[in-house]
Amino acid sequence: MPGKKASEALRREQIIQAAFRVAKQKGLEQLTIRLVAAEAGLSNGLVFFHFQSKETLLLALLDWLLASIFELWEASEDLPPAERVFTLIRLDLQDLSQDEHDGARLNLFFAYWALAVHDPIIKERIQQALERSRQAFLPAVQAWIESDPVRFHDVTAEALVTTCIGIVQGCAMQALLNEQRVDVEQLVRVIRALLLPSFSSANSQ
């Protein structure tokens, strides 16, 4: 029954959104089925019907969070290889704009990151999301290396992807610790200057 399935999907989404609000207000440690049910305006039993335990709900919330943060960005293949990479970096940095919703998602992601140290299931989910992000960057980075073999002599695509993503993750950590709005375009200019020496030289003339 398509209608029933759609209704169930909407109900699950309603519960996950309520769980997000509870986690934002009280933290993951204080999240309970009772609090989520109250936030969603539903009975405890209905929440348990869709999510059989708090752990199941926490994993569903994590999956929703990872899907919203680690979107599969694409950059036009018509762009020069370096521009493709910087387009992906700019898109990846968008979550650092630090409006209230984006800031809450970022805080929650790092809360899960801390839990991943002792929870292999959460750790695996996060690793899978990070790997999807790496795979989104890999073709553009590979094309960039191939376009400038002298400069990138002995540089592997995997290492360059790790560097690009590491810069983004470091910026995310700084945004979280500083609790301030991030100028994404300024960050991209800095990253350009670091990774493209010719860019900084051209802009100084």
Residue ending a domain, among 44, 65, 86, is 65
The dihedral formed by the CA atoms of 124, 126, 129 and 133, expressed in degrees to the nearest 10 = -120
pLDDT score at 200: 44
Q: Mean per-residue pLDDT for 86-100?
A: 78
d(CA 16, CA 162): 31
Residue ending a domain, among 65, 84, 115, is 65
pLDDT score at 73: 76
User: Do both 32 and 75 map to the same domain?
Assistant: no
Least confident stretch, 3-7, 15-19, 160-164, 186-190: 3-7
In whole numbers, what is the pLDDT of the chain averaged over residues?
Answer: 86
Q: Mean per-residue pLDDT for 95-99?
A: 65
CATH code (residue 8): 1.10.10.60
CA-closest candidate to residue 18, choices 4, 1, 3, 38: 38
Which domain does 173 fall in, by range? Answer: 70-204
Residue ending a domain, among 65, 81, 105, is 65
pLDDT, tens only, 144-153: 999 999 999 9
Could you tell me the two tokens for 35? 């609090």
Q: Assess contact for 38 and 85: CB atoms under 8 A.
A: no
CB atoms within 10 A of CB 28: 18
Q: Mean per-residue pLDDT for 167-177?
A: 82
pLDDT of 204 higher than 50: no
User: Do both 83 and 57 map to the same domain?
Assistant: no
How many distinct structural domains can be found in the chain? 2
Q: Mean per-residue pLDDT for 48-53?
A: 93
User: Do both 78 and 172 map to the same domain?
Assistant: yes
pLDDT score at 70: 81
Label each residue of the chain as H, E or C.
Answer: CHHHHHHHHHHHHHHHHHHHHHHHHHCHHHCCHHHHHHHHCCCHHHHHHHCCCHHHHHHHHHHHHHHHHCCCCCCCCCCCHHHHHHHHHHHHHHHHHCCHHHHHHHHHHHHHHHHHCCCHHHHHHHHHHHHHHHHHHHHHHHHHHHHCCCCCCCCCHHHHHHHHHHHHHHHHHHHHHHCCCCCHHHHHHHHHHHHCHHHHHHHHC
The residue whose two tokens read 């009772």 is 34
User: Do both 53 and 79 map to the same domain?
Assistant: no
pLDDT of 19 higher than 90: yes
How would residue 2 be classed by pLDDT, with cut points 50, 70 and 90?
very low
